Amino acid sequence: MKKLMSLGGNYYQMTAVKAAKRLGYHVIDVDFLPDNPAHAYADEYYNISTLDKENVLKLAKKLKIDGIISYASDVSAPTAAYVAEKLELPTNPYESVYLMTRKDLFHPFLKKHNFYVPNNTKICDENDVLDFWEKHEGDILIKPVSSSGSKGITRLSEKSQIKRSIQEAKKYAGKDDIIVEEFIERDSYQIAGDAFILNGKIEVFGLANEHFDAECNPLVPIGESFPVFLTSEKIERAKNEIQRAVSLLKLQNGAINLDFMFTKTGKIFIIELGPRNGGNLISDAIKYASEIDLAEYTVKVALGENITKIKDFSSKRNISSYIWHSKENGRYDSIMISDELKKKIIKSDMFVQKGEPVYYYGNSGFGLGAAILEFKDQNEMLYMMGHMNEYYKIKLL
């Protein structure tokens, strides 16, 4: 029986662990949080930080693994690629994976190869932000270069916000740098989703509309909906542009998480390409919408199994993923869901119990639960996803 090492064991990573067990493989979970829920479905668990490349490698050698994945996590993706390269297991190039997880490397890569990139620069203090502000019109963004889940990202409309925004970015930057970037107005929805690559070619291109809660942090996604609200011409343009990036990065096999938009002037801005499946139940939503199981594909590719039959994404149902969240800090009491929304729920789980602390949804780490929803048509789906505050409420003690 082949052995798969899975880095991370949170709620979203359960999808990959369950897929591997369903396929009959031995699963070894690794992270530094022994209470993470995916561990219960794995055959073994080891308490090692997924950022600790050398100790993860040491364990992988000892256990004689046949493959390794970082499912729905940017931060551990370089470790997975590093270990796989050292053990000559299936992987995409470590150098490319590492580049894709750092904004200070990914943006210059895009610019070098003539992709559209907003102006941005590294900053050290408030004066650097002021200098950038004076050179560019409109709002700006401050971001840590290596955080995931929109952690530490803020949009600035006034100079009085600079100090607080830098402090927020530094909370998630660790020893890494912070950048400032032009804010670009998008045309219609920001686009999310997952693609799957085989032999260097995008075979599955699963695009979704990305949704935000303007009453919380409008930069943090609260869900994705399939099918995408884009013309076939724009879908093809986006696929060609992302395929160009895939080829330049020498990616061969596996999932990539997509995050891009069309600007008001019609340009494609690739915000991020994550070297892994998406979080927020994106691959789960794709499975419900199209019957394509990207988690199973990810496991098989990591273990060197051949995938001979694969079909491109086509949404047969109107499916959304959704993150239950709070607009304020407090202690959790309950979630009140309208009858209309209850009818849409395929699956739903809460991460918190009564009395536990909850926080304003300032980044994806503060989600309270997750759901998969199904709607009768796209119009209903887009309306309800854009007005979810009308259909449920988080009650605090």
The H or E element spanning position 357 is strand 357-358
H or E stretch including 164? helix 162-173
What are 120-167's pLDDT values in tens digits?
A: 888 777 778 777 877 887 888 888 876 666 777 888 788 778 878 777
- What per-residue confidence (pLDDT) applies to 129? 77
Say which amino acid occupies 17: V
Q: What pLDDT is attached to residue 70?
A: 98
Neighbours of 1 (CB within 10 A): 8
Cβ atoms of residues 321 and 372 within 8 Å: yes
Nearest to 222 by CA among 31, 41, 387: 387
Backbone angles phi, psi at 396, to 5 degrees: -110, 155
How would you classify residue 263: left for phi > 0, otherwise alpha for psi between -120 and 50, otherwise beta?
Answer: beta
Regions of the chain with pLDDT less than 50: none
Quickly count: other Cβ atoms within 10 Å of residue 304's Cβ. Answer: 12
Task: Choose among 235, 223, 231, 227: nearest CA to 378.
Answer: 227
Rounded to the nearest 5 degrees, what angle is found at the Cα of 298, between the Cα atoms of 382 and 172?
65
Please compute, for residue 219, the number of CA atoms within 13 A of its CA located in the half-sphere on the CB side.
19
Given this model, what pLDDT does residue 148 score?
Answer: 63
Q: What is the pLDDT of residue 9?
A: 96
The Cα 146–Cα 173 span in angstroms is: 7
Task: Please give the Cα distance from 386 to 397 (Å, whole number).
Answer: 27
Identify whether the C-beta of residue 30 lies closer than 8 Å to the C-beta of residue 45.
Answer: yes
* First CA to last CA distance, the chain: 49
Per-residue model confidence (pLDDT) at position 219: 87
Q: What single letter denotes the amino acid at residue 174?
A: G
> Are 172 and 161 in contact, with CB atoms under 8 Å apart?
no
Q: Which residue has the tokens 């073994």?
A: 44
- Compute the distance between CA of residue 162 and CA of residue 155 in angstroms, rounded to an integer: 10
CB count within 10 Å of CB 191 equals: 24
Sheet containing 154-156, strands listed edge to edge, beginning at the edge strand earlier in sequence: 120-123, 178-182, 140-144, 154-156
- Give dist(CA 253, CA 69) in Å, integer: 12
Contacts of 232 (CB under 8 A, 6+ apart): none
CA 146 to each of CA 30, 175, 274: distance values in angstroms, whole numbers, following the listed order: 21, 10, 11
Of 211, 173, 216, 150, nearest to 358 by C-alpha is 216
Task: Please tell me the number of Cα atoms within 13 Å of 165 on its side-chain side.
Answer: 26
Structure confidence at residue 145 (pLDDT): 72
